[in-house]
Structure 1
Amino acid sequence: MPAPAVETAHFHLETRIPVASPEDTAASLVALLAGGDFAIADPAYLLDARGAPCGIVPLSRLLGAPPAARLATLALACPPAVRLGTDQEHVASHAIAHGVSAVPVVDRDGRWQGVVPPLALLEVLRHEHVEDLHRFAGIAHDAEVASRAIEEPPARRARHRLPWLLAGLGGSVLTALVMQRFEATLQANVAVAFFIPAIVYLADAVGTQSESIAVRGLSLSHKPLPALLGGELRTGALIGTVLSLLALLPIWLVLGDVRLAAAVAIALFASSCMATVIGFTLPWLLARTGADPAFGSGPLATILQDVLSLLIYFGVVVGLLG
């Protein structure tokens, strides 16, 4: 038998259900329940001569019946059944419409196959509810991609991630070339090197915050991208201003070099603005090209922010310190 299709009644089918004939007695059904290992024992289902469900016997009726009573006299109407290939969302809607906790399942000829049990129905309802919310919010595709990214085999995950990391590796070579280009500046004033880690780190940190906001918020906001980018850029400028002012005085007091302190402050401000723009727009650009921002935005944004923040810093240093 082929594997059941996902998101169908067949996929959720439970076959360990008590079944009997309408002609059987209450005593025989009690014995069956006592000696069997059933996933769901209430109710028992009655099948006619061709194997189609024709009634149910609730446990409350069975236990109060005379042992010799025919099950046909105890039976209630069987809820309408669904086919094996019925979509799981329709199965859940079917259960709600008929007020049942389990849905009988039949094949295309109407023969008994089992039921979709209560726990499966609850899981289907939860899954469909979340899926609908994602669809209404415009993030259904993102949810599917995120689910696959964390559930795929490790080899496939690595295949998706490595190309972006290799791009980052190439970018690190570019970073080294930038450092080499300004080797004379570093040799002339070794204190310039003291602040490279801080400037690079803060640019990455500001950019990471913007990336997180972009990935989470762009699909939910109805404002045009330029308006959102303008607001984020102003935020980056405000953050850069605060960081610059906090860095300016301590560097000046500790090193006694106002021009170096000013260079660091200006670089922090400009790098914060630059990192905000990159962190906010890169996920959007990747999504527009069909790439997954979860894989690409981090490595690409990091190397771009590193290279540009170094260029900004050294450019300001050369301009102010010569």
Structure 2
Amino acid sequence: MFAPATKAGDAWTRMLGRRFDSASDIVVGDGDGRLYGLVSVERLLAADPGATLAELADRDPPVVAPGMDQEIAAWHAVQHGESSLAIVDPSGRFKGLVPRRRLLRVLLEEHDEDMARLGGYLRGSKAAGSAAEESIGRRFAHRMPWLLLGLLGAMMSAGIVASFEERLAANVALAFFLPGVVYMADAVGTQTEAVVVRGLSVGVSIRRLTRGESITGLIIGAAMALAFFPFALLYGDPRVALTAAVSLFAACSVASVLAMALPWALNRLGRDPAFGSGPLATVVQDLVSITVYLLTAMLIVT
């Protein structure tokens, strides 16, 4: 650290023949160790030897406090147009200097992480590359647990439908609309899930997504129910048409909530929501949609 009254020529002479980890900037400070400013080496070399460092120093260099997030600190230096970043405690005392090579490394690391998260990977692009190049055995091992969960859901769905066999047999028209209700709930859930996963990948809080997606799910469910009801009436039984419309509204509304809750839960557990939330959400949404439809039929169709 040089005093503000030091001449440029004297500062340069004192630096000759010495080795430095980084010499992109010279720190200028007072006797109490407080930062006065920074002088770039380029400016020092071009200055008159008799000029003081106080005259050459940037009195408003980029400064951060100890413990600040490295990405924020690096961008602070870049936006200020400086090659180094000074670390200063709350009392103004100089604690260190982050050189340009360290700033560049931080920016590259954060860029790599951001690009990986935008692609749906939470552990970096290196992990994403490894996943794309892994062996057939590991691919099988990573995917089978979720697919087995889906198979279990299919078995449970068959059991639920079988438990309503008599009611379905008494009014076969009820079976016509079950696939449509299940599909539309899955479609609404998939849209919400894509928005949530993308939001989580860039650090958006689930609280910011909840209200908007929940209201959107209700509106979509109501719109789908109103559009589907006249079509269902073509099959002649108003009770069945009402059952399909009410079930569609309820299933679509619930699907939005599930599509938000499951990726958030996987993210909190440290699992990649882009990889697991799709199969898991499909299983849960199908079971809920089938149950909602059949219970609604019990209440409306006597």
TM-score by length of 2: 0.60
Cα separation, 2, equivalents of 1:321 and 1:132: 54
Cα separation, 1, equivalents of 2:112 and 2:241: 53
Equivalent of residue 267 in structure 1, options 247, 261, 277: 247
- 1:92-107 aligned at under 5 Å gives the runs none
Equivalent of residue 311 in structure 1, options 278, 287, 291: 291
Q: Give the CA deviation at 1:306.
A: 0.7
The match for 1:276 is 256
1:230 maps onto 2:211 in alignment: yes
- 1:245-256 aligned at under 5 Å gives the runs 245-252=226-233, 254-256=234-236
Q: Which has the larger radius of gyration?
A: 1
Cα separation, 2, equivalents of 1:147 and 1:307: 35
Contact 1:203/1:305 (CA < 8 Å) preserved in 2? Answer: yes
Cα separation, 2, equivalents of 1:239 and 1:321: 25
Letter in structure 2 aligned against 1:169: L
The match for 2:61 is none
Cα separation, 2, equivalents of 1:177 and 1:140: 37
Equivalent of residue 150 in structure 2, options 155, 168, 174: 168
Equivalent of residue 240 in structure 1, options 207, 211, 221: 221
Q: Give the CA deviation at 1:294.
A: 2.8
Cα separation, 2, equivalents of 1:141 and 1:301: 22
After superposition, the Cα gap between the structure-2 partners of 1:135 and 1:305, relative to the gap in structure 1 and judged at 3 Å, is closer
Q: Give the CA deviation at 1:130.
A: 3.5
Q: Give the CA deviation at 1:139.
A: 7.0
- 1:213-228 aligned at under 5 Å gives the runs 213-222=195-204, 224-228=205-209
Return 5+ residue gaps in structure 1 as ranges.
1-96, 98-123
Contact 1:164/1:295 (CA < 8 Å) preserved in 2? Answer: no
After superposition, the Cα gap between the structure-2 partners of 1:129 and 1:294, relative to the gap in structure 1 and judged at 3 Å, is closer
Residue by residue over 1:121-164, the C-alpha shift from the partner in whole angstroms, topping out at 9 and shown as x without a partner, is xxx9x975741644998976254444333232222121111111
Cα separation, 1, equivalents of 2:124 and 2:215: 28
- 1:202-213 aligned at under 5 Å gives the runs 202-213=184-195
Contact 1:214/1:281 (CA < 8 Å) preserved in 2? Answer: no
Equivalent of residue 133 in structure 2, options 146, 151, 164: 151
Equivalent of residue 297 in structure 1, options 271, 277, 296: 277
- 1:117-128 aligned at under 5 Å gives the runs none
Residue by residue over 1:50-103, the C-alpha shift from the partner in whole angstroms, topping out at 9 and shown as x without a partner, is xxxxxxxxxxxxxxxxxxxxxxxxxxxxxxxxxxxxxxxxxxxxxxx9xxxxxx
Runs (4+) of structure 1 exceeding 4 A deviation are 126-129, 132-140, 142-145
The match for 1:286 is 266
Equivalent of residue 191 in structure 1, options 164, 173, 197: 173
Residue by residue over 1:202-245, the C-alpha shift from the partner in whole angstroms, topping out at 9 and shown as x without a partner, is 111111111111111123254x4234112111111111111100
After superposition, the Cα gap between the structure-2 partners of 1:294 and 1:212, relative to the gap in structure 1 and judged at 3 Å, is same
- For the residue of structure 2 that corresponds to 1:290, the secondary structure is coil
Letter in structure 2 aligned against 1:238: I
Contact 1:229/1:280 (CA < 8 Å) preserved in 2? Answer: yes
After superposition, the Cα gap between the structure-2 partners of 1:143 and 1:216, relative to the gap in structure 1 and judged at 3 Å, is farther
More displaced 10-residue stretch of structure 1: 174-183 or 294-303: 294-303
Contact 2:116/2:124 (CA < 8 Å) preserved in 1? Answer: no
After superposition, the Cα gap between the structure-2 partners of 1:308 and 1:133, relative to the gap in structure 1 and judged at 3 Å, is closer
Letter in structure 2 aligned against 1:320: I
The match for 2:87 is none
Cα separation, 2, equivalents of 1:235 and 1:277: 10
Contact 2:113/2:125 (CA < 8 Å) preserved in 1? Answer: no
Cα separation, 2, equivalents of 1:249 and 1:204: 22
After superposition, the Cα gap between the structure-2 partners of 1:186 and 1:305, relative to the gap in structure 1 and judged at 3 Å, is same
Letter in structure 2 aligned against 1:307: L
Cα separation, 2, equivalents of 1:296 and 1:135: 17
The match for 2:32 is none
- Supply the RMSD in Å over aligned alpha carbons: 2.8
Cα separation, 1, equivalents of 2:209 and 2:248: 22
Return 5+ residue gaps in structure 2 as ranges.
1-82, 84-104
